A and B are shown apart, each in its own frame.
Chain A
Amino acid sequence: MNWSAIWTIYTAEMTRFFRTFVQSFISPVISTSLYFVVFGTAIGSRIQQVEGVSYAAFIVPGLIMLSVMTQSISNASFGIYFPKFTGTIFELLSAPVNFFEIVLGYVGAAATKALFIGLVILATASVFIELQIAHPLAMMAFLVLTCLSFALFGFIIGIWAGNFEQLQLIPLLVLTPLIFLGGAFYSISMLPAVWQTVSLFNPVVYLISGFRWAFYGAADVPIGLSLLAIAGFTGACLLTIGWIFKSGYRLKP
């Protein structure tokens, strides 16, 4: 293993993050606060408890997941797309590194940033409501796994994308609807029976459900299934990335 290379890529990526640290920090704080004002206070006061917790508390896990997933994807996809765009990728391709080391550097940095933002949101939320976390370890594990797997997914998008529009396309067209329909702001059990069945085909449902279970001990789907879903997603992303580097897809003519 070329640990030095992994660390070099990781710190270079993190440096870029710290250059825009204030924005990175302020924007999730502001948007989370807005969510609480709108959903927690204005609308939430008219909604009865959901699964035994106040609506404001109920949306916290979904809110964190929403940000963490979009952040992981955009950080990782941009992280690898940018060197492709500027041409600096030549240095990675001609360096004595293998794909696993490149992925660790980029995905690790993207996941770290997303994790940081997830924790900022968690802290902001605890200012507004009294949070309870039933299974703190499981909560952290879910958070870290989600950051990693979605950063892997973002990495694939960054390699696939041929221009900036395509870079935005998947998150916008696929991910946002999946997250909004994935039970971030409601419980699947609130839906009509047919839509409950349809929801089970949405992978994000399993992640949000599992994450919420870590907070409040209640879930839409069994926790084992949630774990399986995230493991399966991570595995699929890893396989795809392995194939990309072996075949040189969109990297080497």
Chain B
Amino acid sequence: MAFVQIDNLQKTYAGGFAALKGVSLEIGEGEILALLGPNGAGKTTLISVLCGLVSPSGGQARIGGHDIVEAYRAARRLVGLVPQEIALEPFTKVIDAVRFSRGLFGLSRDEAKIENILKRLSLWDKRHARITQLSGGMKRRVLIAKALAHEPRVLFLDEPTAGVDVELRRDMWQIVAELKADGVTIILTTHYIEEAEAIADRIGVINKGALLLVEDKAALMARMGRKELYISLRKPVATVPQALAGYGLELADDGATLVYSYDTSGEATGITALLADLAGAGLKLADLKTRQSSLEDIFVGLTRETSAEDAA
């Protein structure tokens, strides 16, 4: 059964703006879902509704089987949230801020647990520093520590790596992997496609308040991923030879390279035939190279499609 179950969730803000237009989604226990989408797509709104920061205008959602409105206590006990904006009390000490989160969720004091979290986030040396004395990246670590302090079963990370250095991003990915190993469900939003590619099991693309697709990362890449074969020639050609017209080749590098696009999931790629025909046409190869289109290409393609539909 799905651990997080979202059913036709809608949110229309007071001004009449529809930020979520009926989102349905199921996320399994221990799964990592990455939500991709441009600015204003509704990612934060979706997370905010699920965490109780924004009241839904329609639809339902359950976390661990508990309705987020009717059984908010049971639902929220399972949830940790790392918000997009850094929000911390400026004059508290790091360790007190983390203890506060634990107490607020009704858990007993556990100094060993808190020490472990602070050490994992490289905050242990700073535990007695006040929030105002921390750098931006450290503040983000404190936010993560606070969310982990109450041992969530579902963790929402709203752009956790925006504005953090490479090291923290690596740490983050490491922590996400460890949490996943503990069976924690993770939903993260990001603008970094390589991040989604690196850590997610499934990927959702959201734009203008609607979920465009949710798919297994590997399946998505395979289904939509196209590969390109770059063929470098010993001698440039002015036009694609007539004998090769059927392959839809494109010229690049002033005729020094031929580009062949093919579908990796197709029955046959057509490469063998192409290479034979190249030789037949008298062309000599200097080098071969392939490139797989990334999630980024898929993502840009999808969101552009919806924008184009809107315009039409």
Which A residues have a C-beta under 8 Å from some C-beta of B?
A: 2-5, 7-9, 12, 15-16, 19, 82-83, 86-88, 90-98, 248, 252-253
Contacts and interface: CB of A to CB of B under 8 A. Distances in A.
A95 B76 contact: yes
A62 to B, nearest CB: 35
- Interface range on chain B: under 10, 10 to 19, 20 to 34, or 35 or more? 20 to 34
A219 B103 CA distance: 46
A94 B73 contact: no
Contacts of B83: 87, 90
A96 B76 contact: yes
B103 A8 contact: yes
Contacts of B85: 87
B51 A15 contact: no
Interface string B164-192: 00000000000000000000000000000
A16 B89 CA distance: 11
B198 interface: no
Interface stretch (B105-113, B215-223, B280-288): B105-113
A34 to B, nearest CB: 30
Contacts of B106: 2-5, 96
B89 A253 contact: no
Interface in B9-63: 13-14, 51-55
A91 B146 contact: yes
Residue in B89, B90, B146 whose Cβ sees the most chain A Cβ within 10 Å:
B89
Contacts of A5: 103-106
B262 interface: no
Contacts of A8: 100, 103-104
A91 B13 contact: no
Given A15-B96, A90-B53, A95 B91 contact: no
Nearest to B85: A87
A96 B77 contact: yes
Contacts of B211: none
B107 to A, nearest CB: 7
B243 to A, nearest CB: 64
Nearest to B88: A88
A248 B96 CA distance: 28
Contacts of B90: 86
Contact of A96 (B55, B72, B88, B108): B72
A86 B55 contact: no
Interface string B67-88: 0000011101101010101011
A114 to B, nearest CB: 21
16 contacts: A3-B106, A4-B103, A4-B106, A5-B103, A5-B104, A5-B106, A7-B103, A8-B104, A12-B96, A12-B100, A19-B91, A87-B85, A90-B87, A91-B101, A96-B105, A96-B106
A217 B17 CA distance: 61
B107 A93 contact: no
Contact of A94 (B79, B91, B96, B107): B79
B237 to A, nearest CB: 61
Contact of B53 (A12, A82, A83, A252): A252
A4 B53 contact: no
In the A-B complex, list the 5 residue pairs whose CB atoms are closest, starting with the nearest: A87-B87, A8-B103, A94-B51, A96-B76, A96-B73
B76 A248 contact: no
